[in-house]
Structures are given as structure tokens and as C-alpha cells.
Structure 1
Amino acid sequence: MSPQPECTTLGILIFPGFPMACLTSCIEPLRAANEISGQTAFDWLVISESTAPIQSSAGVTFAPDLALSEVEKLDHLLFASSPNSAFDAPSKANAALQRLIRNKTRIGAISGGVFPLARTNLTGDTPLSVHWCYEAAFQSEFPHIPINGSVICKEASITTISGASAVFDHMLELIEERLGGDIMAEVACWFQHPFIRSENVTQKVPAISTPQSEDLLPSQIAKAIAHFAEHIENPIQISEVAASVGLSARSLERSFKNATGQSPLVYYRRMRMKQARQLVLYTNVSIAEVAYMVGYATPGTFIRYYRETYGVTPVSDRRAKNSMRVGSDDALPSG
């Protein structure tokens, strides 16, 4: 019998407040692949900056297997965290990461983990997959890094994954590469995960206040929404949007209400508020600057619409989010 090849080892680097689903979506399909194949094809390590217990966003505490500085060899390392996470000792962490990269470790991130990954400055200007709910905050902090809208982005030696469901897809891809399509399909069926998405699939973005995603709306409405998204900082007139999609302003109003239950103006305003809330919760940008970044010349009108949309002022929303943080390392910006 030929010797069994060395197993593929995955490291999940967790920070306080990390999404627990991202961790389980990494581990469970690999565990199942080992069980189905009857071999230890995959191994995994839960890693943190130190070996202190780490509490997830769900309040469940995990004991890491190793500190990052102790890790010698990995095939893959994925950051899992909230958007606000950062290393306590960045220089020491970067040295450990650079050592792993020299040893051919493929680094990456899941969901909010893309923020501390980008903060290492190890990604350069490589395009990264950023979950749609973090795009505005990410672009504000890292304007030089291109955002890839697909569920999984593999560029150079970096893999970024938009969320927990997408990381399950990525694990299935690793299983297929290592053990073949039959094992991969059986793992997918174990977890009733029948639609295995390729890395090229665009993220689904929910339409505002409608029970469907934007890509399921009528084409002219979807195009109008795309125009709105391109004009957050510099607002565009509804009549201009109507003309760009080949409709009169009245026809757009009627079609938009039929498709979304809202007028184009209200929908457009809520898009701007949704982007504003990312900036309020996940950056330290001043409220006045947030107002400007979503197209309001003065904060007063912005604050009024924000309160109408979310029931609180931007300052109160930011403070409330701070008060719910999990551990001191997950503190959100204040002020």
C-alpha cells in the first residue's frame, strides 16, 4: 500500500466577537470528509493571538489550540472576526504571518475577518471579497483596495470569503481537490447543501423592504437601483434615473412601487441610510463626515432621516453598539 499523503491543515484565526458560524462552517465539512473517506485527509487548528479563551459573537467561548506565534506549518489560514478586530501586538503578529507566508501558507479571511487582514498591510492592492453589508465601511478605511463582489475571491496567494455559507462552499472545493467529486457530493448531501456555488457567483444583496434579492427585481427596476448605488455621495434626480432606464418619471414611480412597495425616492433614501449605518457602526468617521459621504451637505437633514429609518440618532446608534461589544478587543469607534 502506498503511504497516505500528508493531510491538509487549515488554521482558523479567531478574534473576540468572531461569528461562530464561520468557524463551524470550516470545521464540519472537513470532519465529515474525513469520516466518509476513512482517512485523516484534513486537520484544523483554532488559533488566536494568544492562548486566552476567545468569546464569539454568540457568547460561546472557545479555547484556541495554539497562539499565532507558535504555529509552524499550515496550508491555509483564515481570519474570522468582527470588522473592528485588530492585533494587540501588530508587529509580532505580522512577523508570524510573514513566516507562514514564506512557508507557502495561503492566507485569507471570512466575512468581517477581511478588516484585520487588510490592516496587516500584507494584502497590498489585491482585490478582496467583502460582504455586502461591510462594503461602505471597508471602502472608507481601505480606499486603495479593490472590492470583489463575488462570494469567494482567490487572487494571488489570498482567499477572501464573504460569509459562513460561502466558506462552506470553499471547504467543499478543498474536499473535491483532495478527495474527489464523489466525496465532496456526499459531504454536501450530509448537510443538505445542494447548491454548491463557484467562486465567481455574485453575492446576493437583499432588496430593501421586499422579500427578494435585487437580482430578482424587474430589469428596469434593478437598473434604476444600480444607478442609485452609483450616486450615493452625489445624489441624482429621479427623473434622470427614469430617463437612463428608458421610462418616464411617472412610469418609474408606478413600476417601482409595484416591484418594491416603495417610491423610488424613499428607496433611494433608504439605500443611503443603509450605507450611512455601516459608516456609523464600523468606522470612526465623524457624524458630519458620514452625512457628507452619503450625499447630505449638512448633518441636520441626515440625522432626521436616520432617526426616521432606524428610530435612533447616529450618535445613539454608535453608542448602543459600543455598549454591546464582546470583550475589550471588539470595541467600536466612539464619538
Structure 2
Amino acid sequence: MHCAVSNDKCQDNFVPRASSAHFDIRYDGAPQDFFFLVLPRSMMLGVAAAIEPLRVANQITGKELFRWFILTEDGAPVRCSNGMQVTPDMALDDAPVGGLTFISAGGEPQLAAGEKTLNWIRKAARFGRPLGTINTGAFALAQAGVLTDQIFTLHWEDQPAFLEEFPNLTPSSNIFEITPRLISCGGGHAATDMILTLIEERHGEQLAIVCADMCLHMRSRRGSEPQRSNFAVAVGSRNRRLLSALQMMQDSIESPLSIHEICDKLDISRRQLERLFTRYLDQSPMQVYFDMRLHHAYGLMNETSMSVTEIALASGFNSATHFSRQFKRRFGASPHFFRKGWS
């Protein structure tokens, strides 16, 4: 597909001057086009990490294998989460038909996409345009109603908020997902892993390996890799019962288990469980569990518009008053003042 928009970038050949690295490839076909819709407060890292392997592939082969274009909703510059401003190549409505379009978002993703963007997404999905998401871009697709029955992922930090807003949609915990209908990643360096996989699928494994080396990126991760370090890494132990207890706690935030229930499931005495937590975490099981629930609430406070009462219930607190008191003790401000300070 050739870009139908007349601008300076379309006249460029997207092939930087050759460097000492070179990779021979037999390919004389049309380039593959990538479009990146950057929504306000997007994480710049994810977009840059997706584009750079495409640039490298062109540079080391000396061929225009890929082209990339930055879009914004109205064609005006947008400011990313790090405060830097991105100037687009074109407005969303000016993007030519065809090409894979990634929607990138970051903080406050539920507020990032305007109605114009949501309508564009609905139309794109209806006509079979290839779509993808980076970081929290899945929020926009969910708001547009096009995520049903699809496999997708988004950044782990925002998954609790996503599940609260869209309880019938379950994101994957993997770093990226590639399906015939949707390509998505959690953002950050996962975008590089995702794009390298797309390069491999189109032009072979050896090119992907060289591109990874040029990016100083150790290509050991595939899509099935989890986004977060597992509990064994986090706590420095492979004790099966300790790890199982932590996973049970993580899986039961909204309806907390009692310590007695956890012990029964593990076939372990309360004293044994207390010793494990004290040895490896220097806290009691109850303290660790309580802290998990408060951090879950902290995430919902930052990433959703849920009321304090709703957040309290979603974090396993029966009383909003008790929750507010504990939140202030842990984070230094009541939920109401905390949210006001970020507004």
C-alpha cells in the first residue's frame, strides 16, 4: 500500500543511510505500513520501542520493508505522559485504508479517546482494518465495543481498573498477544518483542535476530511470557506453600480469604504459615494480605473514576470509613484528599 497523503514523510524512502551492519534479503514487494495513533498521555516508550526495530530492519537491509506514521485524533500535537510533545504525520481521518493501526494510551486511559476516535475504531473494526494496542490502548477498543471474544492484553498496572470497568472482558497477563483479529502488548519493551515477532513472521527469524542485536535487545521473550516477575523472584524463595499462599491472596482481593481458610487449602498450620511469612517477608500473613488490598485500592484510585465506597468494596473492605482510615495510614492522605491532589 502506498501512502495517499501528500506530506514530507511520504516522500522519504524510510531507509536510513547504511551502517556497518548489513543483512541481505531477497524482497522486492511493497512495504508494510504501520500507523500509531498516539492518544493524550500515551507512554512514549512503547511507541518508540515499536518503531525502532522497523527502522533498523530497513537500515540493515537497505530496503523499504516497513513504513511508519504517527497519528493523532485531529492532527494536532499531543503531550505524552513524560511531558514531551509528539507531532503527528497526519490526523486519524487522513490515514489511508489498509495498514496495521496501533492505538497507544497511557495514564487515565478511560479518558484518552474522544468520541471521534471511538467512532473511527468501530468503523475500522467493521471493515476489517487490522488493529493493535500498546500499553492501555485496549481501553479505547473496549469503550468502542470491539473487544468481545478477543484475546488481548494491556499493562498489568491497569488491569484491575480495566476489569472493574469491563467485567466481561478478561485481559491476558502475557507481554503481548498476536491473533488474526488483534495484536496487543503491555507497552514498554514488550512492544519491541512484539514487533520483532512480526518482523520474523514476514521476513524470517535471522532478520529479527539481527534487528534485536542492533537494538541491544536480548530476544528471549515470546508472547507467552508474563508481564510481571513471579512471586518466587519477588520474595526470593521457591517455597511452594509460601508462593501458593501469596497467589491465593492475589486472586482473592475483593472477597478476602481468612488466614484459617488459606491454611486449610494449603494443609498447613497457622503457626507454620506465620513462620514462613516472617522468615521471607518479615511480616505476618495478615499484614501482607492487607497491604496487597490497599495497593489494589491505590491503583483503582489512580486509574478509575470509581467512588471511594466502590473502591473499598472492590478491595475487600466492608466499610468505606474503615477503608479510608487505613488508606490514610498507609499513604498519608485520605482517599478524598488523595484524589483531589491528583485532579
* Structure 2: distance between partners of 1:72 and 1:300: 53
Greater displacement, 134-143 / 113-122 = 113-122
Distance 1:24 1:304, change over 3 A: same
Greater displacement, 29-38 / 109-118 = 109-118
Alignment size in residue pairs: 317
Match of 2:111 among 85, 92, 109: 85
Matched, 1:254 2:275: yes
Please report how far the alpha carbon of residue 203 of structure 1 lies from its aligned counterpart in structure 2 after TM superposition.
Answer: 2.1
- Secondary structure of the equivalent of 2:142? helix
Q: How do 1:247-326 and structure 2 match up within 5 A?
A: 247-322=268-343
Structure 1 residue aligned with 2:81: 57
Matched, 1:227 2:248: yes
Structure 1 residue aligned with 2:31: 7
Matched, 1:34 2:55: no
Structure 1 residue aligned with 2:189: 165
Please report how far the alpha carbon of residue 240 of structure 1 lies from its aligned counterpart in structure 2 after TM superposition.
Answer: 1.7
* Structure 1: distance between partners of 2:219 and 2:332: 38
Please report how far the alpha carbon of residue 78 of structure 1 lies from its aligned counterpart in structure 2 after TM superposition.
Answer: 1.1
Matched, 1:182 2:203: no
Structure 1 residue aligned with 2:10: none
Q: Structure 2 length normalisation: TM-score?
A: 0.86
Distance 1:77 1:279, change over 3 A: same
Counterpart amino acid of 2:326? Y
Distance 1:78 1:85, change over 3 A: farther
Greater displacement, 43-52 / 172-181 = 172-181
Structure 2 residue aligned with 1:328: none
Q: Deviations over 1:168-207 (max 9, x none)?
A: 1011111112222222111111222113311112221575
Structure 2 residue aligned with 1:199: 223
Is contact 1:108–1:117 with CA below 8 Å preserved after alignment? Answer: no
Counterpart amino acid of 1:63? T
Distance 1:203 1:48, change over 3 A: same
Q: Structure 1 length normalisation: TM-score?
A: 0.88
* Structure 1: distance between partners of 2:237 and 2:204: 34
Structure 2 residue aligned with 1:69: 93
* Structure 1: distance between partners of 2:113 and 2:135: 17
Structure 2 unaligned blocks of 5 or more: 1-25
Match of 2:141 among 95, 104, 117: 117
- Secondary structure of the equivalent of 2:37? strand
Counterpart amino acid of 1:269? F
Is contact 1:218–1:259 with CA below 8 Å preserved after alignment? Answer: no
- Secondary structure of the equivalent of 2:247? helix
Whichever of the two has the greater Rg, that structure is 2
Please report how far the alpha carbon of residue 300 of structure 1 lies from its aligned counterpart in structure 2 after TM superposition.
Answer: 1.8
Greater displacement, 161-170 / 229-238 = 229-238
Counterpart amino acid of 2:110? N
* Structure 1: distance between partners of 2:252 and 2:118: 37
Counterpart amino acid of 1:153? E
Matched, 1:143 2:167: yes
* Structure 2: distance between partners of 1:95 and 1:265: 47
Matched, 1:97 2:121: yes
* Structure 2: distance between partners of 1:200 and 1:215: 23
Greater displacement, 103-112 / 267-276 = 103-112
Is contact 2:105–2:137 with CA below 8 Å preserved after alignment? Answer: yes
- Secondary structure of the equivalent of 1:281? helix
Structure 1 residue aligned with 2:20: none
Q: Which has the higher contact order (CA 8 A, sep 6+)?
A: 1
Structure 1 unaligned blocks of 5 or more: 323-335
- Secondary structure of the equivalent of 1:84? helix
- Kindly report the root-mean-square deviation, in angstroms, between the aligned alpha carbons of the 2 structures: 2.2
